[in-house]
Structure 1
Amino acid sequence: MTFAPRRRWSFRDLRQRADAFLSLAGRELDIEQRRRVRLVNWGGAVMAVMLSFWILNQVAYGAWPLAAWQAGSLLATLAGMAAVRRGRRLLLWAHWMCLAMMGSVFSAATYSGGLTPASLSLMLCVPVCAVVLAGRGGLWWTPVMIAGVVGMALAERQGVVFPYLTPEEWRRFDTVMTWLTSFLGITLVFAYNHAACARAERDQEAALAEARSVSDAKTRFLASLNREIREPLHRILGLMVLLKEEPAAERRRELGGEARRIGQALAGAVEGILRLARDEHLLEIQRERLAGPLRLPEWKNAHAAAKPAPAATAPVSLRVLVAEDDPVSRRLLVRNLAELGCEVAEAGDGRAALEALKGGGFALALIDCQLPGLDGFALARKLRRFEGEIGARRQRLIGMSAEASAAQAENCTAAGMDGFLPKPFGRADLEALLRQVRSPAES
C-alpha cells in the first residue's frame, strides 16, 4: 500500500486561503467592492483575535464585567463578518463593526481607571480604523469619539471615579499590552489597507489587459468576417460579369459552375453566422466580449469619388500590373482594365509581382494585400527601398483587400502604398481610379 505524500503548508498558502475566504472569492464583485470586503473582513478578524486575547486576560484577572462587555463586542464583530459573507449591505456592517470597536474601547476605559494614557491610545484607533473600513463615511466616528472622551473627562471633573478592575500587580503589564494593542492595531490596519490597494491596482491592470485582449479579439473577428464574406462576394460579382459577356456556351457553363461553388461556400459562412446568432448562450457571450453590434465599415465610397471625365477626351493608355492570387478576380481585373484602355500585366504571387515592378514602367499596380510568398505590405516596402536605392521613379501602388477597415487602409499607407481599394469593387471604381492616374492635377 502506498500513501500520497503529505502536503506541506507554508504561511503564504495559509494567508492566500484566508484571503480567498475573507474576500469572498467567487462572488460577482467589482474591484472596489472586493477591496472593501477584504478590508472589512480582515479588520474584523484582527479585532476578533485581539478581543479574544483581552477576554482571556480579564477572566484571569477576575474582571467579569469588563470580560462581559468585551465578549459582547466580539459577538457583534463576528455577526458583522457573517453578514458581509452573506452578501448583506457592506457599508452598514462596516459601521456596525466600528460601533462594536468603540463599545469595546469605552468599556475598557470605564473599568480601567478612566482616561488613562493607555486608554486614550486605544481610543485613537477607533477613528483611524473607521476611515479605513468605512471610507470617508468613517470620519463621522471622529466627533462621536471626541464627544465620548469629553463626556468621560467632564464626569471625572464632577468627581466620578472609574474603577480599575485589574489587580495591582498586573496593572503595569496591562498598560504595556494596551499600548502594544494600539500600536499593532493601527499598524496592521494601515499595512493591510496598503496591500488591499496594491491588490486592487493589480486587479485593475488585469481587467484592462483583458479588455484590450477582448478588443483585439473583436478586431480579429471583424477582419475574419470581412474576408469570409467580401472575398467570395467579390469573386461571384466578377464571375457574373464574365458570364454575361462570354459568348461560348461551354465556357458559360464553367463560369456558372464556379460561381455556384463559391456561392455554396459563402452560404456556408453565412449559415455559420446565423447559427451563432440563433444560439442564445453564444450570442450573450459574444455581446459581452465584443461590447457592440457587428457592422462592416463602409469604405465603398472612400476611393470611388472623382470628377466626371470630359466626354470628348480620348483615354490615355496606361501600363497596369495586376497582382492577385485568385484566378477569377485576376481575370476579371485584367478584362476590365483592358476594356478601359490599359496595357495589363499580371502576377499570381508577391515575388513575381516584385520582379515585374523592379523592371519599372508601370503607371499603376493593383496589389492584393494577402498575396502568397510575399504579401502586399512586404512587397511595397521592398519596392520603395529598391526605388530609393537606384533613384527610380516612384510607381503608384494601390492595395486591395476584403478586410475593409480603417486599420487595413492605414497598414497600406504605412507600407508605402498610395491608396486602398476594398473588395468588392466594380468597374466604376476602376474608372474613377484610372481618371486620377491619368489626370495628375486631380491626383
Structure 2
Amino acid sequence: MTSVPVLLDLLHGCCPHCACASLLEDSSIKNLSVFLLCGGKKKTHPDSVSHVNALLLGSSSSRSSSCGRSVHVLDARSVADSLFRFKLNLDQRDLSDVRVVTSERGRARLQRYQAQLFTAVYTFTYVICNVTSCPTCPVDHAPHTHSPTAGVQQDEDPEEEGDVDEDVTSFVQQLPSLNGPIRILHSTLIPDMFGHGFSCRGGGVSSIATLSSLNLFCSNKRRDPAAIVTENRRRLALQAGFHPLTFTLTKVNHGCAVWVVCQQPEPESYDAMVTARPGLCLAAPGADCLTLLFAEPQTGAMGVAHAGWRGTLLGVAVATVEAMVTALGCRAGDVLVAMGPSVGRCCFALSREHAVEFTHIHSECVSDTHAHTPHVDLRKANRVLLERVGVRPEHIQDDTDTQRPLVTHCSACNQQHFYSHTRDGTQFGTQAGFIWIKER
C-alpha cells in the first residue's frame, strides 16, 4: 500500500502534539510517512523532534516501525534545502499528493516555497494546527517554534523576514552540476556579430532522469520547478556569454505566429520571434521539434523559430523570414538559417493522414508513404520551404551540410546529449536554440 507523505512543519508555530494526535486519529491515512521540517537558520528544539518520534513510533526513536509508520527529519541548513530534499524523496517514489500540517503563518510561507520548488504536478493539502494555548503539550514550544503569540523578538534572516526568494536562489546556486559540463553547439554559418548556440542536456541541476540536467523549460505537467529551470538558464547564460535576464523563450503554440519584438505588443502565444535590437537573447525550445536560428548580417536582424510537424506544415519558418523582410528591412537572400538538434527521419513517424501532407511540400519528405505510420523528414520540409521563400540553399545549415561541423543531430538517437519527447514520454526535458546581437 502506498504511504501518505505528511510534511509536519515545526518551524512556523505548528503544535507537534496536536498535529500528531490528528494524524493518528485520521483513519483515511495508511502507512503514515512523516517528514519533520526542522531545518533552517533557526533549528527546532530537539525535544520537539523527540516528542514527535515518541508519539508516532511509540517508545522507539527509530525512523520506522512495524505499524507502517516512518519519521524522517528534514534538518538541512536552509528551509529551501530541506524542502528540496523532501521533493527528491517524493520524486524517487513517484508521489505527488502531499499533506502539510502547519500554522496559518507557516502556510503563507510554505506556499511561497511551493511556488518555486514544486509544480502543479504536486498537490498540497494544508491542515492548520496553530500553537495558541495547548495544555496537553508537554513541550514548551514558544521559544522554539516562533509562534506568533510567543512574543519573542525574531532575528532578521531570509527565512524569518520573508526573503524566501533569497533563500531559494542561494540554495539552487550551490547545487552541483550534473552529467558533466555545459556543452553548447555552434554553427559556423552564423557570423561572429551574433552570439548563438544550441544547448545540450549536461551541466545543469535538474535531477529527475528524463529531465537531467540542463532542462530549460518549466511546465505544469512536469516535475522540474521554476527555481531549478531558472538556475539552469543562469548557468547556460554564464557559459554562453549573454545576460540571464535577457533570455526570452517563445511561447509555443505549435503554430506559425511571429512576434516582431519591440515593434508589436507581445502575443499570447507565438512560435517565432524576430528583432534587430541588441540586448535581447531570443530562444526557441526543442525536444524533437526543430529549432531554427535566423541571422541577417546586412541589417543586424535575427530571429528564432520552433518548428514541430504542425508548425512546419503551417509554414512557421517561412513566416519568420517574411517578418524579417517586411518588418526589419531584410532581403530573403541574405538571411542565414541554422537548424539545431531535432528528431531525424530515422526516429520520427506520423499517422499516414498527417504524413501525406508533407508529400505536398516535397516527395522526399516522406520515405515510406504506404506504411501505417510513415517516417517524416522535418528538416527536408523546412529546407524546401525556406528555399521557396528566397533563402539561398548555401545559407541553410542542416544535416545535409557536410562542409560544416554538424549541429543538426537527431535528438531521439542521442540520449546522452539531447532531450526527446519521442523517446522519453511526457516527463521530457527541453533544450533550446538561442541567438543575440553582440554589443559593438
Task: Output the TM-score relative to the length of structure 2.
Answer: 0.19
Structure number with larger C-alpha Rg: 1
Which structure is higher in strand share? Answer: 2
Relative contact order higher in (CA < 8 Å, ≥ 6 apart): 2
Which structure is higher in helix share? Answer: 1
